[in-house]
Amino acid sequence: MKVLTTLSIGALLLGIAQFSVADEGHGGHGGAERDKLRIAAQGICPVSGQKLGEHGPPLKVVVGKQKEEVFLCCKGCLKEKLDAKHWATIHANIAAAQGKCPVMQKPLPKNPKATVVNGQVVYVCCPPCTKKLAKDPETYLKRLDTYYTASLQAGAVRR
């Protein structure tokens, strides 16, 4: 599945080499366990393309106007720009790990709609689902955690 959303393209066109390190307590809903799932789903560093965890614990950063939280492989990548190819791979990995719309609970379409909720990229099947997601984000993020867990256990995430 090749996914490069308008959100992703816009972020790259804005030259989001400006990272800010995410507050470890930010979005404390799910905390460290949710971050572990997100790291596994993301798979690679958006700068180097290296597998996350190969250079120690990944570093959570915030990028772009949507304040999307992503993970870098090391502090050295804080000084570099995101690579469009790696960014596209990350979004494809996330969509593959998610697999279903957390609102409608049906498989994602070929080109799902992306939104950012509490710093996390979430794919939905249609624009109206973004409104439902915004009204009760934690319910849907918990559902997303279960999708990630099942997908990762099944080995569905590419690297």
With a cut of 70, list the residues of the chain below it in pLDDT: 1-30, 156-159
- pLDDT at position 31 is 84
97, 49, 39, 36: which is closest to 71 by C-alpha?
39
Residue 56's contacts (CB-CB under 8 Å, 6 or more residues apart) are 74
Say what the pLDDT of residue 135 is.
Answer: 96
pLDDT score at 68:
94
- State whether residue 45 is helix, strand or coil: coil
Distance CA 62, CA 85 (A): 19
What CA–CA distance (Å, rounded) separates 149 from 17? 30
The pLDDT assigned to 26 comes to 40
